[in-house]
Amino acid sequence: MNVLPINHSRAGPSGDLSKLACVIEISHGRRHQEAPPSYRSEYQRDRDRIIHSSAFRRLEYKTQVFANHEGDMFRTRLTHSLEVAQVARTIARALSVNEDLTEAIALAHDLGHAPFGHAGQEALNKCMRTHGGFEHNYQSLRVVDELENRYPQFKGLNLLFETREGILKHCSRTRAASLGPVGKRILEGRAPSLEAQIVNLADEIAYNHHDIDDGLRAGLLTSEILMENRIYQNAYSSVLKSHPDSNEQVLKHATLREMLSCFVNDLIESSISRYQAHQTPGGVLDPKLNIVTFSDSLNTEHTALKKLLFDNLYRHPKVAQNNTLAQEVIQQLFNHYIEHPENISDPDLPSTFESDLELSTYIADYIAGMTDRFAVSKFNQLFSPRRMV
C-alpha cells in the first residue's frame, strides 16, 4: 500500500509517524506548564480533557440539523462530533500522522456551536454584529481556553498549542490578531497542520453522509432526489447489483457506507500523491496546495452533493420553519439578558461590566453554551405564556 514517508525516529504508540506529523518534541506546548502525564501521550490528555468538559456533554442536546425534540434517531452535535472523530482517525492513521491530536481536534471542533444549529449561530451573529459578530470556531477556542472552569491552576483546559490551533480553524483577522501565537497562522495565511486539515474534511464527509441519512429518515430527501448525484447513483447501483434482494432500508445503509468509503479512500489516496509532490514543511503549509483534499473529479461531485443538500434539505420549508423559531428564541434571550444580566444564575457573574463589549460577550458566551432545551425552557420562563415546544 502507498503510504507517506516515515520518520523512524518518531515511532509512537500508534506506530511510525510521518516526518510532517505533529509530535510532542516539536510542540509549542501549553500556556501553563504541567508535568507530563504518566501513562498517556500529551495529545491523549487533551482528548480526555475535552471528553470530560461540560461543553462536550452539552453537545448531546444541541441541534445538528434536526432539532432534538423531532426524534431520538437524528444526529446531534455530539454524535456528529463522534462520527467526525471516527472518520478523521481512519484518515490520520492511513497518512501516518498524529491520530491522538486528530481525534482531540475532531472532538472539540464544535464545542463553541450555539444551540439550534446553523440558525442559532446566525441569530447570535446578528446579536453580536456591533461587537465583531459571533464565530463558532473562535467560540470553540474560547471554550477550551477561557470558559471551561474546572482546574484550580488555570482557566480553560490548558490544551496544547497544536490542538488549539486546529480547533480555531478560521476567524476574522481582528480576532486572530488578539489571540497571540495561536492566531498567527491566520494572519500569515498559512494552512493548518495535516491533522487539522484532516479534521476539516472529515467534518464535511461526516455531515454530508449523516445529513443524507437523517434527511431520508425525516422524509425531506428521497432516493429520487439523491440519484441526481453521480456518487450516490454509482454507490446505489453497485450495492443493488451485489445484493438485489435486500430491502430498501438495508440498501440505504449500504449505499451510504459505500459512499463514505469512496470519499475517505479518495481523500487518503489523493492526499498521499499531493504530499509526495510537496515533501517540505513549507510545501505542506502552503494554503494554495491543499495537501489534504479530494481528487479533482471527486471534488466536483462533492461540490454538487453539497449543493443538492443545500437546495433540498437545509433550505427545506420544514427546516426553515424551525430556524425561524430558533432565531426568535436566541434574539429575545439576548435582548433580555443585555437588560437584565442579573437574571443569569452564575456564581461568577461579574458585579459590573466595564463596557458594552464585555457585557455582550458575557451574554453571548452564556447563550452559546445553552443546549436547545435549556434555551427553550429559559424562553418559556421569561416570555410565558408564549410557549414553544
CA distance 86 to 82: 6
**How would you classify residue 350: left for phi > 0, otherwise alpha for psi between -120 and 50, otherwise beta?**
beta
We find the least distance from the C-beta atom of residue 180 to Mg ion, in angstroms, to be 25
Rounded to whole angstroms, the Cα distance separating 96 from 66 reads 35
C-alpha 30 chain-centroid distance: 22
Grid cell 439578558 is found at 337
The residue among 207 and 379 lying less far from Mg ion, judged by its C-beta, is 207
Interface segment toward Mg ion; rule CB under 5 A; list 4-12, 103-111, 265-273, 318-326: 103-111
Q: Which residue has the cell 437523517?
A: 214
Q: How far apart are CA 110 and CA 63, in angstroms?
A: 11
Closest contact distance (angstroms) between CB of 310 and Mg ion is: 16
For residues 54 and 261, what is the distance between their CA atoms, to the nearest angstrom? 33
**At 278, is the secondary structure helix, strand, or coil?**
coil
How far is residue 47's CA from residue 38's CA, in Å, rounded to a whole number? 15
State the CB neighbour count (10 A cutoff) for residue 45.
21
Rule CB under 5 A: is residue 135 a binding residue for Mg ion? no
Q: Could you tell me how many residues of this chain bind Mg ion (CB under 5 A)? A: 2
CA-based nearest residue to 42, from 195, 197, 159: 159
Minimum distance from CB of 136 to Mg ion (Å)?
9
Half-sphere exposure of 282 (CA within 13 A, CB side): 0
Which is nearer to Mg ion, 106 or 194 (by Cβ)?
106
Helices (H), 113-222: 117-127, 136-142, 161-168, 173-178, 184-188, 194-218
Q: Select from 13-21, 202-210, 212-220, 282-290 the region that touches Mg ion (CB under 5 A).
A: 202-210
Cβ-closest residue to Mg ion? 203
Pick the stretch among 31-39, 110-118, 166-174, 226-234 that binds Mg ion (CB under 5 A): 110-118
Q: Does 203 bind Mg ion (CB under 5 A)?
A: yes
Binders of Mg ion in range 258-277 (CB under 5 A): none
Distance CA 75, CA 374 (A): 18
Output 4 or 105, the one with its CB closest to Mg ion. Answer: 105
Please state, in angstroms and rounded to a whole number, the distance separating the CA atoms of residues 337 and 307: 37
Name the one range near Mg ion by CB under 5 A: 52-60, 94-102, 108-116, 230-238: 108-116
Nearer to Mg ion, 77 or 164 (CB): 77
Cα 91 to the center of its chain, rounded Å: 16
Nearer residue to Mg ion within complex by CB, 10 or 80: 80
Closest CB 225 distance from Mg ion, rounded Å: 23
- Nearest distance, CB of residue 101 and Mg ion, angstroms: 17
Give min distance, CB of 204 to Mg ion, in A: 8
**Minimum distance, C-beta of residue 151 to Mg ion, in the bound complex (Å):** 26
Choices 120-128, 200-208, 313-321, 328-336; region in contact with Mg ion by CB under 5 A: 200-208
Neighbours of 8 (CB within 10 A): 8
Verify binding: residue 83, Mg ion, rule CB under 5 A: no
Please tell me whether residue 110 binds Mg ion under the rule CB under 5 A. Answer: yes
Would the CA dihedral through 184, 186, 189, 193 be positive or negative? positive
Give Cα separations from 6 to 11, 193, 234, 296 (angstroms): 9, 17, 35, 26
Residue (21 or 199) nearer to Mg ion, CB? 199
For the bound state, the minimum distance from the C-beta of residue 64 to Mg ion, rounded and expressed in Å, comes to 8
Q: Which is nearer to Mg ion, 84 or 225 (CB)?
A: 84
Q: How far is the CB of 67 from Mg ion (least distance, A)?
A: 17
**DSSP secondary structure code for residue 15 in this structure:** E
Between the alpha carbon of residue 139 and those of residues 111, 180, 208, 265, the distances in Å are 8, 16, 23, 32
Residue among 164 and 210 whose Cβ is closer to Mg ion: 210
Q: Which is nearer to Mg ion, 113 or 164 (CB)?
A: 113
Least separation in angstroms between residue 77's CB and Mg ion is: 8
Stretch in the footprint of Mg ion (CB under 5 A) among 66-74, 98-106, 107-115, 227-235:
107-115
Question: Considering only 11-19, 24-32, 203-211, 238-246, which stretch makes contact with Mg ion by CB under 5 A?
Answer: 203-211
Closer to Mg ion by CB, 20 or 260: give it: 260
Under the rule (CB under 5 A), what is the footprint of Mg ion? 110, 203
